[in-house]
């Protein structure tokens, strides 16, 4: 008969421990964590806009930031709206990839206006099931504008799922614009994906 020492866990003990951990409530995102996430985002944006790199290099950097800190699959699916339900998993993945580059180029142009300036977080707080993190974009010789990041951990990671520039939602704007692009292509999602890779 095999004997176990007191320090050697039995299979039953391991299973019981795993079940106990599974029963614990998931760790909830806090205001400080949401703010810290966006402080990292704005720090990286500031580094890009003041790097002196070429426009193409800056867009690649913005795309990398978007990929690391934004919930791209959720944003992309929400942008497609009801059309996401008829898309295959391969199409959804391709759309999210094309959409990420499209957004980086489109909004990267807006952030390029900040060359010589910077984005600074000013506050954060809970709103319903997510957090708003507010920032101010200071431009050289121009009036500053407000940027708000909406942050959630629903994906299993702390990520932002929308970006508001002067109160205008990226998600709502792109849902309208991408929906119109899809309509012009007769609902052909593959054609939309191909065009998004060049747009922005």
Return d(Cα 136, Cα 119) in angstroms, integer: 6
The maximal CA–CA distance of the chain, rounded, in angstroms, is 82
Task: Give the model's pLDDT for residue 113.
Answer: 75
Q: How much is the pTM? A: 0.80
Domain map (residue ranges) of the chain: 31-196
From first to last of its 200 residues, the chain has per-residue pLDDT tens of 333 233 434 434 333 333 333 333 344 899 999 999 999 999 999 999 889 888 889 889 999 999 999 999 999 999 998 999 999 999 999 999 999 999 988 888 877 777 788 899 999 999 989 999 999 998 877 888 899 999 999 999 999 999 999 999 999 999 999 999 999 999 999 999 999 998 76
Helix axes 55-69, 89-112, angle to 10 degrees: 130
Locate 150 and state its tokens: 């909406």
Alpha helices in the chain (DSSP H): 11-23, 31-49, 55-69, 72-80, 89-112, 170-184, 189-196
Task: Give the model's pLDDT for residue 109.
Answer: 80
Which CATH architecture group holds 31-196? Answer: Roll (3.10)
Q: Contact at 8 Å (CB) between 130 and 152?
A: yes
- Main-chain dihedrals φ then ψ at residue 85, nearest 5 degrees: -70, -25
Alpha-carbon distances, residue 41 vs 25, 137, 151, 181, 189 (angstroms): 28, 13, 12, 29, 31
Task: Give the model's pLDDT for residue 198.
Answer: 84
Q: Contact at 8 Å (CB) between 80 and 72?
A: no
Task: Give the model's pLDDT for residue 19.
Answer: 38
């Amino acid at each position: 008969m095999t004997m176990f020492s007191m320090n050697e866990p039995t299979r039953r003990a391991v299973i019981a421990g795993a079940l106990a951990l599974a029963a614990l409530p998931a760790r909830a995102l806090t205001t400080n964590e949401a703010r810290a996430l966006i402080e990292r985002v704005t720090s990286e944006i500031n580094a890009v806009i003041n790097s002196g790199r070429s426009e193409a290099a800056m867009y690649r950097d913005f795309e990398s930031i978007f990929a690391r800190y934004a919930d791209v699959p959720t944003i992309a699916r929400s942008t497609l709206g009801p059309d996401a339900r008829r898309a295959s998993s391969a199409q959804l993945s391709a759309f999210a990839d094309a959409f990420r580059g499209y957004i980086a180029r489109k909004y990267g142009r807006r952030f390029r206006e900040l060359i010589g300036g910077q984005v600074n977080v000013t506050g954060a707080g809970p709103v319903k099931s997510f957090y708003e993190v507010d920032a101010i974009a200071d431009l050289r010789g121009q009036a500053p504008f407000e940027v708000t990041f909406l942050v959630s951990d629903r994906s299993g990671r702390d990520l932002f799922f929308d970006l508001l520039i002067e109160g205008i939602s990226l998600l709502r704007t792109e849902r309208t614009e991408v929906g119109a692009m899809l309509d012009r292509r007769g609902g052909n999602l593959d054609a939309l994906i191909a065009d998004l890779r060049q747009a922005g």
